[in-house]
Amino acid sequence: MNTSNNNDSTSSNGKNTSLSPTLATHSDASMGSGGASQDTSHLGSSIWNPSYMNQSSQRPLQKQQQLQQQQNPQFCFVNPWNEEKVTNSQQNLVYPPQYDDLNTSESLDAYRRRKSSLVVPPTRAPAPNPFQYDSYPAYTSSNTSLPANNGGQYPFAYQQQQHAYQQGAIPPSQYGTRFVPSLYDRQEFQRRQSLAATNYSSNFSSVNSNANQGTSSIPTISPYRRLSAYPPSTSPPLQPPFKQLRRDEVQAQKLSIPQMQPCNSKSDLQPVLNATPKFRRASLNSKTISPLVSVTKSLITTYSLCSPDFTYQTSKNPKRVLTKPSEGKCNNGFDNINSDYILYVNDVLGVEQNRKYLVLDILGQGTFGQVVKCQNLLTKEILAVKVVKSRTEYLTQSITEAKILELLNQKIDPANKHHFLRMHDSFVHKNHLCLVFELLSNNLYELLKQNKFHGLSMDLIRTFTTQILDSLCVLKESKLIHCDLKPENILLCAPDKPELKIIDFGSSCEEARTVYTYIQSRFYRAPEIILGIPYSTSIDMWSVGCIVAELFLGIPIFPGASEYNQLTRIIDTLGYPPSWMIDMGKNSGKFMKGLTPEESGTSAQKHRMKTIEEFCREYNIIEKPSKQYFKWKKLPDIIRNYRYPKSIQNSQDLIDQEMQNRECLIHFLGGVLNLNPLERWTPQQAMLHPFITKQEFSGEWFPPGSSLPGPSGKYDSTKVQQKGHGRMSDSSGNASHNYVYNSGNVSGGADSVDIGTISKRKENISSSFLNDCVVSHSVQEGPTSEFNKLHIVEE
């Protein structure tokens, strides 16, 4: 490359220390004038022009050198790089002979000497002149092949022309400047041009050596190898005039060295950009390309030109595997050990013409299978395809998901107004049910993660909650229970819009067919499910309460490590469920025990949670002590004391506004996170709460048609303790109280949360929820022997 030449010129030119190196290291820019003091001790030894400078350049030094050459035909010069004296008999011709300006009185040898000016040092091959061949006739099918007996000689037509010239039939002026005969296809030639360039000069070495032996005939060129960008079998018959060099051959031949110019003024230091730079590489489209392009985006072409045996087919590329583990263990090797289809980028799912989907990337992985981003090969639409595991239990459950989505999309919400995922298609691929959905963006968990688990603004929480409640209103009216609401199953429609959709109806059921007993992801699991009592659509409202609290806090409000731990956290934060729930619950005895009259005393409470020691001893398990993520235990305290967003920390008005909003949120969450499912607000009721409607919140609010008191009364016990600097009006708006909260640098609230643990919850949920789903779904679909085998109790 030119760079190495530059290095050569600077490092080995010990004598000419005043020579400045060339400025350009890339062939796209010809070199600027290097600063130099001219050493005139011998001809041509001082300063060298870069070989790729335009030969017709009017640089005075070059002119002077040419003049000196003509005056002194027996010139010799010292190569400034190796300090060897080289006579003209040893030098290589640099460019193909240009006989157009041959003087009639001048011998060919003298002409050649004159043309091989001192501007190029000996033994160094020059760059080819890509523009020398511009006027070749167009390639025609009649001139594509060389004579079979050509033996590496020039084509016959050229030999004829050469012979005629040697016989004197053609005057030198008409001999033509074109070295490559018209027989050659211009495109093919240019494609090979730069690679052939060094060889070109190599061929001219023999030209020169012939000349030096006293012959003035145009030498023959040595046989050349066929170059091809095509597989050998499909390679066109046209053969290039030059042999392609192997790397060792290239290295053996010294390339031309950029040369120096005296630097007389500052302006000489400016690089001279050559609009049509030499040293370009060949490409397949009859153009030349820069070295950078040739080794980056045109690498395949470059390889093809370098090696005739090189073939490249996209289809043979190693494909990026998207599924883990990726070893084929089931389903004839198509599935891994978990019965997940092993997906690769560029796989095609489906076989029917308009139902072929090109796999682009993985979007998510869940209990039921993988969700991949795909492109419909016919419509070019980008979609999400859920590839369900090939096991029967997942298949049957996913058929239910498809049916519910179909019902929602076509009957319940045909206008697509209520934030339900749209399903476009479904088909089976290699024993896997594939559900084709509209492509959505991030889920809410990812959004919180992007926000460093700091929670969202009140307005955004309100916007999201309104949409979720709207969906739940429709579901409740349709008597459908989602059964797996969580941030992971609520997706943004687009990354830049606060519009969302609810996905994953794989656990959904009709309210009248609540046969599953073990449902919902643990953090969002309603107390009635944990205790094991009949449930209804209100379990989704519990999940909504957990999600809204999480959107505010950034982390789950009840991040239970086990079901025992989940219930402990709920009770610690919200109090005990009513006695009837505990009495009725099939699982109550697992986690709770009745109080003796002495223990209960005067209190109405009849039960208590088993201590962790009691629980572990009884079930012979190890239960880790509950990790506390919040400094405060009660819901109102957690919300009130959560740190302020930075944007409001310096404004008391904004802090007051924030605290009012928080009180409203606490009241809202109290109604939605009511432990008693019979009192828990319905989505229709919750939609009317001031937190959603943005009406002024007075501190008391009853859902219309409900005589039940609002939840706020339960939490009035909060004793105000001055700790931070915040002040706000209380929820009744009468008195002014100081509330406990943390300023930015005070520890507590979610600041003290071990984010690492929480952020891993997705994986934890997935693995444990696997058991949940398998167990619960077996009941609905009619127990299969496989399901019964998989009946695993989670905790």
Ligand X SMILES: Nc1ncnc2c1ncn2[C@@H]1O[C@H](COP(=O)(O)OP(=O)(O)OP(=O)(O)O)[C@@H](O)[C@H]1O
**36 or 360, CB closer to ligand X?**
360
Whether the upstream peptide bond of residue 325 has omega within 30° of 0, thus cis, is yes
Residue closest to ligand X when measured from CB atoms: 366
Give all strands (DSSP E) within 256-347, no chain letters: 281-282, 288-289
Q: How far, in Å, CA of 703 to CA of 680, rounded?
A: 10
From 18-26, 188-196, 251-259, 481-489, give the range in contact with ligand X by CB under 6 A.
481-489
> On the CB side of 422, how many CA atoms lie within 13 Å of its CA?
14
Query: Please, what is the minimum distance in Å from the beta carbon of residue 367 to ligand X?
Result: 4
- The correct pick among 97, 258, 366, 545 for binding ligand X (CB under 6 A) is 366
Query: Please, what is the minimum distance in Å from the beta carbon of residue 325 to ligand X?
Result: 17
By residue count, the chain amounts to 795
- The correct pick among 239, 367, 712, 778 for binding ligand X (CB under 6 A) is 367
Number of H helices, E strands in the chain: 25, 20
**484 or 663, CB closer to ligand X?**
484
**352: which 2 tokens?**
């029917």
**275: which 2 tokens?**
């609009």
**Residue 429 class from Cβ within 10 Å (0-12 exposed, 13-18 middle, 19+ buried)?**
buried
Site for ligand X in 373-392 (CB under 6 A): 384, 386
**341 or 739, CB closer to ligand X?**
341
**The 3-state secondary structure of 690-714, one letter per residue:** HHHHCCCCCCCCCCCCCCCCCHHHH
Site for ligand X in 397-436 (CB under 6 A): 421
Q: How far, in Å, CA of 500 to CA of 462, rounded?
A: 13
Query: Please, what is the minimum distance in Å from the beta carbon of residue 380 to ligand X?
Result: 17
Query: Please, what is the minimum distance in Å from the beta carbon of residue 408 to ligand X?
Result: 14
- Work out whether 108 is an interface residue with ligand X (CB under 6 A): no
Query: Please, what is the minimum distance in Å from the beta carbon of residue 507 to ligand X?
Result: 7
Residue 510, CA distances (Å) to 189, 403, 677 in order: 73, 12, 17
Binding mask 769-788 for ligand X (x = CB under 6 A): x-------------------
**133 or 437, CB closer to ligand X?**
437
Query: Please, what is the minimum distance in Å from the beta carbon of residue 605 to ligand X?
Result: 36
Q: How far, in Å, CA of 476 to CA of 510, rounded?
A: 10
- Work out whether 482 is an interface residue with ligand X (CB under 6 A): no
From 7-15, 143-151, 439-447, 512-520, give the range in contact with ligand X by CB under 6 A.
439-447
- The correct pick among 38, 451, 766, 771 for binding ligand X (CB under 6 A) is 766
Residue 255, CA distances (Å) to 76, 131, 237 in order: 20, 20, 31
**418 or 714, CB closer to ligand X?**
418
From 15-23, 53-61, 366-374, 668-676, give the range in contact with ligand X by CB under 6 A.
366-374
**Cα dihedral 690, 691, 694, 695 in deg (nearest 10):** 20
Positive or negative: CA dihedral 56, 62, 63, 65: negative
**686 or 758, CB closer to ligand X?**
758
From 136-144, 313-321, 367-375, 449-457, give the range in contact with ligand X by CB under 6 A.
367-375
Site for ligand X in 497-556 (CB under 6 A): 503-504, 506
- Work out whether 159 is an interface residue with ligand X (CB under 6 A): no
From 28-36, 368-376, 601-609, 686-694, give the range in contact with ligand X by CB under 6 A.
368-376
Closest CA to 97 of 64, 129, 58: 129
Binding mask 230-269 for ligand X (x = CB under 6 A): ----------------------------------------
**112 or 386, CB closer to ligand X?**
386
CB atoms within 10 A of CB 360: 18
Q: How far, in Å, CA of 94 to CA of 254, rounded?
A: 12
Query: Please, what is the minimum distance in Å from the beta carbon of residue 456 to ligand X?
Result: 18
**355 or 462, CB closer to ligand X?**
355
Q: How far, in Å, CA of 84 to CA of 564, rounded?
A: 90
**554: which 2 tokens?**
């950034």
Query: Please, what is the minimum distance in Å from the beta carbon of residue 770 to ligand X?
Result: 8
From 232-240, 365-373, 575-583, 744-752, give the range in contact with ligand X by CB under 6 A.
365-373
Active-site annotation holds for 484: yes
**667 or 777, CB closer to ligand X?**
777
Query: Please, what is the minimum distance in Å from the beta carbon of residue 682 to ligand X?
Result: 25
- Work out whether 357 is an interface residue with ligand X (CB under 6 A): no
- The correct pick among 175, 368, 535, 715 for binding ligand X (CB under 6 A) is 368
DSSP assigned state of 443: B
Query: Please, what is the minimum distance in Å from the beta carbon of residue 524 to ligand X?
Result: 11
Q: How far, in Å, CA of 639 to CA of 663, rounded?
A: 8
- The correct pick among 45, 323, 465, 489 for binding ligand X (CB under 6 A) is 489
- Work out whether 448 is an interface residue with ligand X (CB under 6 A): no
Evaluate whether 26 touches 254 at the Cβ level (below 8 Å): no
Residue 60, CA distances (Å) to 65, 66, 99, 261, 642 in order: 9, 10, 24, 10, 79
Binding mask 317-356 for ligand X (x = CB under 6 A): ----------------------------------------
**321 or 595, CB closer to ligand X?**
321
Query: Please, what is the minimum distance in Å from the beta carbon of residue 506 to ligand X?
Result: 4
Residues in CB range of 697: below 8 A, 6 or more apart: 660, 663, 664, 667, 690, 691, 731
What are the two backbone dihedrals, phi and then psi, of residue 377, each rounded to the nearest 5 degrees? -65, -25
Radius of gyration (C-alpha) of the chain in whole angstroms:
42
- Work out whether 372 is an interface residue with ligand X (CB under 6 A): no
Residue 257: what residue type?
I
How many chain residues interact with ligand X (CB under 6 A)? 24
Give all strands (DSSP E) within 40-95, no chain letters: 76-78, 85-87
Task: List the catalytic residue out of 484, 504, 637, 772.
Answer: 484
Residues in CB range of 81: below 8 A, 6 or more apart: 8, 9, 12, 13, 121, 257
Q: How far, in Å, CA of 205 to CA of 515, rounded?
A: 91
From 43-51, 128-136, 226-234, 437-445, give the range in contact with ligand X by CB under 6 A.
437-445
CA 641, distance to chain mean position in Å, is: 39
Query: Please, what is the minimum distance in Å from the beta carbon of residue 505 to ligand X?
Result: 8
- The correct pick among 443, 508, 661, 674 for binding ligand X (CB under 6 A) is 443
**238 or 472, CB closer to ligand X?**
472
- Work out whether 119 is an interface residue with ligand X (CB under 6 A): no
Q: How far, in Å, CA of 73 to CA of 783, rounded?
A: 104
**592 or 774, CB closer to ligand X?**
774
Query: Please, what is the minimum distance in Å from the beta carbon of residue 460 to ligand X?
Result: 19
**182 or 489, CB closer to ligand X?**
489
Strand-pair category, 423-429 with 281-282: unpaired
CB atoms within 10 A of CB 84: 11
Helix, strand, coil share of the chain (percent; to 5): 40, 10, 50
- The correct pick among 77, 81, 133, 437 for binding ligand X (CB under 6 A) is 437
The owner of tokens 């080819």 is 128
Q: How far, in Å, CA of 601 to CA of 383, rounded?
A: 62
* Active site residues per annotation: 484
| Contacts with ligand X, residue ranges (CB under 6 A) | 363-364, 366-369, 371, 384, 386, 421, 437-440, 443, 484, 488-489, 491, 503-504, 506, 766, 769
